[in-house]
Amino acid sequence: MGAPLELIHELDNSIAHSTDQRRSAMLRHLTDLFLVGSDQYSEEEIDLIDDVFVRLVGTIEQSSRALLAIRLGPVPVAPPKILRALACDDAIEVASPVLTQAARLDIATLIECAQAKNQEHLLAISRRKTLPEQLTDVLVERGDQQVVLSTAKNAGARFSGKGFEILVYRSQGDDALTSCVGLRSDLPPQLFERLLAAASEKVRSTLVAEREYARAEIERVVDEVTDRIQVEATTKPLSYATAQILVESMHQAGVLTSGKLQEFASAGRFEEMVAAISLMSGIPTATIEQNMRDTRAESLLVMAKAIGLSWETTRSIMMLAAKRYRRSANGVDQAMAAFHRLKQSTAQQILDFHRMPSTPVRAARKH
């Protein structure tokens, strides 16, 4: 960094004794130097470069200042003092690239410009990627209709309650602004109603239709998210601790029967049902749950037959499994014949053979 810093000191010392043409050349050289090494300079070095920029920019013609603004505006680490000087320039050709693009330009400078500069400056500010409430308050109050419309169109703009009040007031008699404000999703409902009351018939019908469409779209997205959450919930291991305590207590009291299982299934109490089947069959809950997910019915049929459940209870269990895992229940009744053909002794033998943790119960092909 030694050579560049020596050059910067030399530039600084030469400013006062140089011609306009020479200072413009020095500015271009300094800009090139900064852009090439901007990611390597320390804060102290950037501060020094910043001071030289500010000294130079006060001595050069407008076209050179405008070129500097165009080059520095998009740079995320552009020196802050020169950004402020360019943003506050009375010439819009100079100020616009910085007011619109410079991410490092501080909010205080933006508000100052919005409060003091002309409408062209305000329009440039309104096109920034993001606009906080304290800035939009000034823009919608002081700006002309073009500035207000540009601010309202900005998806990155945020408005205070006061800002929205001004927007609605200024929308009166302006169909373009009324439409733009009315389509903002963050417009409070009570202000939307006030906006509609003052809108032309054409704009009113358009806004109502768009609002209804947006509401339907929001509901659709919410439904999709809800469905996805439900699907994710059904694919994650469940916690059966509480359910196991309950069914074990019922078992010790002698009331854990096939009838109780059917009550669990009919009431949609999936965890209690799985815990009960696990206790009655000696198969871990993880294996029971895996078999519940299985689209084939054989596993459930074997377990149900082995522990002596009736077809009615077995059907209730299969219906709840289908509902929980969001699959068709059309094939449930078709499994009745297979259930009745299966001998309990055969089912118990299959169950004994597969009574191992995390191993799904598989039915034999022949009984």
Sign of the CA dihedral with 354 first, then 359, 360, and 363 last: negative
Residue 238 DSSP code:
P
Distance CA 226, CA 222 (A): 6
Q: What is the model's pLDDT at position 113? A: 97
Distance CA 114, CA 137 (A): 10
Residues 6+ apart with CB under 8 A from 54: 81, 82, 85
Q: Is residue 34 exposed (0-12), middle (13-18) or buried (19+ Cβ within 10 Å)? A: buried
Q: Which residue has the higher pLDDT, 8 or 67?
A: 67
Q: What is the model's pLDDT at position 219? A: 56
Structure-block tokens of residue 157: 């703009």
Cross-strand partners of 161: none
Say how many residues make up the chain.
367
Q: Which residue has the higher pLDDT, 19 or 55?
A: 55
pLDDT digits (tens, 9 = 90+) for 303-329: 889 899 999 999 989 888 888 887 777
Q: Of the candidates 71, 50, 53, 60, which has an alpha carbon nearest to the alpha carbon of residue 18?
A: 60
Distance CA 157, CA 128 (A): 9
pLDDT digits (tens, 9 = 90+) for 104-150: 999 999 999 999 999 999 999 999 999 999 999 999 999 999 999 99
Q: What is the model's pLDDT at position 356? A: 52
Instruction: Evaluate whether 62 touches 86 at the Cβ level (below 8 Å).
Output: no
Residues 6+ apart with CB under 8 A from 67: 28
Q: In this model, does residue 213 exceed pLDDT 70? A: no
How many CB atoms lie under 10 A from the CB of residue 275? 26
